[in-house]
Amino acid sequence: MNSFGEHIKLTTFGESHGVAIGGIIEGFPADVEVDENFIQSELDRRKPSNDKASTPRKESDRVEILSGIFEGKTLGTPIGFIIRNENQQPNDYEYLRDIFRPGHADFTYAKKYGHYDHRGGGRASARETATRVVAGAFAKTVLQKKGIEITARIKQIGTAKTPDEIDRLIEQTKADGDSVGGIVECVISGCPAGIGEPVFGKFQAKLAEAMLSIPAVKGFEYGEGFAAATLRGSEHNDVFGTDALRQAQGPSVEVKPATNRSGGILGGISTGQDIVFRVAFKPIASISKPQQTVDKSGNPIELINQGRHDVCCVPRALPVVEAMTALVLAHFFVPKKANKLSSRTK
């Protein structure tokens, strides 16, 4: 299961400390102008930076597009790309070869495959999400032409919500040799009513699948989410109203929800309101604080992580959440087997 999507499908490959990571995008329509600077700018949002929460690992994350584009436009053929790992340090992880790290996928990969890459988590590393950002940038190119915008923001980190509170929490957590999680809120604006495929292709179900595939994600909710369980129907139901419209043939009205407690989705179908959802990220599993674990033989070990890691993944997760959202939307807006964008999707 290294592929995501149906009409537009992304298949990814590579490990955290291998030669490169990369992907193949299939089903992308032909004759779409591609701004490679935009794609790179999306990657730059995700790469390690100098902020307090980021890993010391430095990668330029320069994407190399290998196929599927000619003279600045897509050909309708598979788009292949790679991102070379420039700052991999596999020897730094040699001491972990026989150790199951708390909170990591070492144990489950070993049980499933019998052999796994211990270098920074290998395939289970969040390094893999850079490939999703590239594919998401391609999808955004199509969606922006339709007036659809996707914006993710930090709602909170730990219990902190204001920038000053977040900075203080990050500094304290880093000083403690620990990590912290948080919540990302994402808004889709400009999406028309009527998008979604009941009953098993509901809009929110597709979003949930995409978000829960992101490393470190532990929860998904849309609209009022879990808070809806504490409300009465009279408090949660969206009421409907009308907007007066002035058209060439005379005035008319448009019926639409006047409130948006549903998060822009009713019955698995978009209402035309902003689609609002939130994604919860766990604390980074790699911490320098001593932890108790065992090796493959069951011998107890006190582990002090010596690798490079983020204090919090939430700031760098914003473009990843947006990318996966764009790929979900592309499923609904790009027809299956389309040679190029048709008037039906404009």
DSSP letters along 269-312, please?
A: EE-SSPEEEEEEEPPPS--SS-EEEEBTT--EEEE---S---S-
Residue 343 pLDDT grade (very low, low, confident, very high; cuts 50, 70, 90): very low
Among the listed residues 88, 112, 87, 110, the one whose alpha carbon sits nearest the alpha carbon of residue 97: 110
Among the listed residues 194, 195, 216, the one whose alpha carbon sits nearest the alpha carbon of residue 207: 195
Task: Reduce the DSSP state of residue 82 to 3 states and report it.
Answer: strand
Q: Taking residues 109-136, what's their average pLDDT?
A: 89
Q: Taking residues 98-127, what's their average pLDDT?
A: 86
- Specify the amino acid at residue 139: A
Task: Reduce the DSSP state of residue 132 to 3 states and report it.
Answer: helix
Task: Please report the pLDDT score of residue 88 as a whole number.
Answer: 66
Q: Taking residues 210-231, what's their average pLDDT?
A: 97
Task: Please report the pLDDT score of residue 152 as a whole number.
Answer: 98
Task: Please report the pLDDT score of residue 97 as a whole number.
Answer: 84
Q: Each residue of 279-307: pLDDT tens digit?
A: 999 999 989 899 999 998 999 999 888 76
3-state helix, strand, coil in the chain (%, to 5): 30, 25, 40
Mean pLDDT, the chain, integer: 90
The percentage of the chain sitting over the pLDDT mark of 90, rounded to a whole number, equals: 69
What gap in Å lies between CA 239 and CA 259, rounded to an integer?
6
Q: Taking residues 314-329, what's their average pLDDT?
A: 97
Residue, of 115 and 219, whose pLDDT is higher: 219
How many residues make up the chain in this entry?
346
Task: Please report the pLDDT score of residue 346 as a whole number.
Answer: 43
Kind of pairing between the strands at 300-303 and 291-294? antiparallel
Q: Each residue of 129-149: pLDDT tens digit?
A: 999 999 999 999 999 999 999
What gap in Å lies between CA 263 and CA 242, rounded to an integer?
19
Whether 110 contacts 150, CB under 8 Å: no
- Specify the amino acid at residue 196: G
Whether 20 contacts 82, CB under 8 Å: yes
User: Which of 29-43, 137-151, 185-199, 246-260 is least confident?
Assistant: 246-260
Q: Each residue of 166-192: pLDDT tens digit?
A: 999 999 999 999 999 999 999 999 999
Q: Over 50: is that where the pLDDT of 240 sits?
A: yes
Q: Over 90: is that where the pLDDT of 325 sits?
A: yes
Residue 14 DSSP one-character state: E
Q: Over 60: is that where the pLDDT of 67 sits?
A: yes
Task: Please report the pLDDT score of residue 344 as a whole number.
Answer: 44
Residue, of 6 and 230, whose pLDDT is higher: 230
Residues 220-245 as b/e (b if ≥16 CB within 10 A, e otherwise) read bbbbbeeebeeeeeeebebeeeeeee
Task: Please report the pLDDT score of residue 60 as a whole number.
Answer: 85
How does DSSP assign 311-326, residue by residue?
S-SHHHHHHHHHHHHH
Task: Please report the pLDDT score of residue 312 as a whole number.
Answer: 95
Task: Please report the pLDDT score of residue 141 as a whole number.
Answer: 95
Q: Right CATH number for 3-345 from 3.40.50.720, 3.60.150.10, 3.10.20.30, 3.40.640.10?
A: 3.60.150.10
Q: What phi and psi, each to the nearest 5 degrees, are found at residue 133? A: -65, -40
Residue, of 202 and 51, whose pLDDT is higher: 202
To 10 degrees, the CA torsion angle through 45, 51, 55, 58? 60
Whether 171 contacts 52, CB under 8 Å: yes
Task: Please report the pLDDT score of residue 342 as a whole number.
Answer: 55
Q: Each residue of 78-109: pLDDT tens digit?
A: 999 999 998 766 667 778 888 888 998 889 98
Among the listed residues 70, 119, 59, the one whose alpha carbon sits nearest the alpha carbon of residue 95: 119
Task: Please report the pLDDT score of residue 56 as a whole number.
Answer: 61
Q: Over 70: is that where the pLDDT of 119 sits?
A: yes
Strand partners for 295: 99
- Specify the amino acid at residue 153: R
What gap in Å lies between CA 265 and CA 204, rounded to an integer?
7
